[in-house]
Amino acid sequence: MLTVVIQAGGQSSRMGQDKALKPFLGKPLIQRVVERLSPIADELIVTTNRPEDYAFLNARLVPEPETWARRPGGLYTAVASASHPLVAVAACDMPFASKNFFASATSLIVQEEADVIIAKTGEGYEPLHALYRRETCLPAIEAAINADQWKVIAWFPQVKVRTLSPDEIKAFDPSGLCFWNVNTPEEFEQAEQIAQTQETK
């Protein structure tokens, strides 16, 4: 049973407006992410410091302290709010968030009895498009917070982390776009162009 959590607690400072609500091919970006991932979700949650702005979504809204966004606190909110044993976490600014990635990751986490399935790209670990086992990850994240360790992956040594190889990442997400989060108007426009091309093929 899988909970999908979409995190919408960022500042959008480089975008100049709330990028989650900025229209992407005619609908709010976060709605696109919700629609992409909802087919695999037994439960869908959006964590946000402004729940009133996301009331239009057909999702459970969980308040998140603004200062916790994109830190272990934000991840703790995501994992703690889930009702199911496995938790897929994605950021609201990932227009190519991949249900195929999470479906493959779900099979792998069960098969290998791992606690985290995560990709490591040239940018480092991708914790905001990754899969977590609630039972083991929650206490580890909480311990990191209590120890004042605010790096998002500070708690990884306490759990079994399965890092995907480049070939596995490619198999899980052939487009290679699922980890792309759009931060600027230019990136937003570029992502729209790519999405439009994909959808007209």
pLDDT on residue 67:
57
pLDDT on residue 199:
67
Separation of alpha carbons 129 and 144, rounded Å:
20
**Pairing relation of β-strands 86-91 and 129-133?**
antiparallel
149 Cβ contact partners less than 8 Å away, ≥ 6 residues apart: 72, 155
pLDDT on residue 65:
67
pLDDT on residue 165:
94
Q: Domain limits of the chain?
A: 2-200
Query: CB 97: neighbour CB atoms within 10 A?
Result: 28
Q: Into which CATH architecture does domain 2-200 fall?
A: Alpha-Beta Complex (3.90)
Query: CB 38: neighbour CB atoms within 10 A?
Result: 15
- Could you report the average pLDDT of every consecutive run of 10 residues in the chain (201 residues)? 89 63 94 96 94 90 70 87 97 96 97 97 93 97 90 94 96 94 92 85 45
pTM passes above 0.75: yes
Separation of alpha carbons 52 and 22, rounded Å:
16
pLDDT on residue 10:
60
pLDDT on residue 150:
82
Tell me the three state secondary structure of residue 6.
strand
Asked if 45 contacts 32 with a C-beta cutoff of 8 angstroms, the reply is no
pLDDT on residue 201:
45
